[in-house]
Amino acid sequence: MSHKPLLNTLAACFLALVLGACSTTPTPTAEQQTVRTRAPRNHEASVTSYFDATQKRVDPNRELVIGAPQRGTCPLGGHVGWVVPVEYKTRTKDSSTVTVTSYYFWFSEEVIRGVTRRMEVCP
């Protein structure tokens, strides 16, 4: 009785297992699985329009300091978007007191998906 056909079959199975193990890809990390939208291009106008639309009257003494878009960590509509830090500064009529309030605008592409007062809080 010859063991050659059995050895050939075992060798072929072993080779298939080795090649199969080499061809698999590792599980992607959370960073690799992240689908990020593109950064907002017209975020300054969007932020200014937001404040104009949500206030009863436009404050002539307001100053908006709008930062650059940063990669956000919050999922927004199935994608991870961008966060834009904004400082809202107002002065009293005699310009003696300046009040600064920080806001964080969360964008998915060109759309504001939320506004928070702290960056750690997702909208």
Chain segment 52-69, per-residue pLDDT in tens: 999 888 788 889 999 999
Which pTM was predicted?
0.68
In the block, residue with structure tokens 């698999």: 24
User: Which residues, in sequence order, are CB contacts of 87 under 8 Å at separation 6+?
Assistant: 64, 65, 100, 101, 102, 103
Q: Is there a contact between 75 and 87 (Cβ–Cβ < 8 Å)? A: no
Q: Residue ranges of the alpha helices (H) in 1-123?
A: 4-23, 30-33, 43-54
pLDDT band at 106 (very low <50, low <70, confident <90, very high): very high
Question: SS3 for 36?
Answer: strand
pLDDT digits (tens, 9 = 90+) for 17-43: 655 555 555 555 554 455 667 889 999
pLDDT for the residue 97: 82
Query: What are residue 71's phi and psi, to 5 degrees?
Result: -65, 125
Q: Is there a contact between 119 and 104 (Cβ–Cβ < 8 Å)? A: yes
Strand partners, 76: 79
pLDDT for the residue 14: 61
